[in-house]
Amino acid sequence: MAKIAGILITLCVLQAISMAAAGRPEKSPYCVRGRVYCDPCRAGFETSASTYLHGAKVKLECRHRQTQKVLYSAEATTDESGLYKIYVANDQKDNVCDTVLVSSPHSSCKLADPGRDRSRVVLTSFNGMVSNDRDANNMGFTMEHPMSYCGQLMKQYQLTDDEV
């Protein structure tokens, strides 16, 4: 009888442990992803002349909201399609996280485009988002001088009063 009671107690303890483990949320990483492009026309946005950069370096930094102290940092390099992915294991809660351009692999397109050199991402589960995938806005480098064909290309992006 004591043997049966011991077995029952052991089974109850094992069941309680497995239920407690099942009740905890599974820790899965956030995936921050985005693309890096070259803007040969210095347009300040992607155009049909823009190309995605293979080998560009990007950094993710998460800072304390008040002190601005960097609490998390990671780097990634873009693939053939200009895409980067940075995996973050921990919820960053109230920290402010940005992806930032680090370097371009092309010497002719190496100036970080102001306004397109960083992208804010939210890395918390306390905001109603179900997915752990986070898409950052595309970021871009630009050339020192626009290419010769850019003047003609940029005309297609201008609106006249008749079109508005």
Contacts for 87 with CB less than 8 Å, ≥ 6 apart: 29, 30, 31, 32, 74
Largest CA distance in the chain: 93
Instruction: Classify 6 as helix, strand or coil.
Output: helix
pLDDT of residue 56: 98
pLDDT(130) > 90? no
**Contact predicate 36/84, CB 8 Å:** yes
**Contact predicate 46/35, CB 8 Å:** no
92 DSSP assignment? -
Query: Residue range 117-132: average pLDDT?
Result: 91
31 pLDDT band, cuts 50/70/90, is very high
Residues 152, 150: Cα–Cα separation, whole Å? 5
pLDDT of residue 27: 56
pLDDT(57) > 80? yes
The model's pTM is 0.78
23 DSSP assignment? H
**Contact predicate 162/54, CB 8 Å:** no
Q: Are strands 70-77 and 57-63 parallel, antiparallel or unpaired?
A: antiparallel
pLDDT(26) > 90? no
pLDDT(14) > 60? no
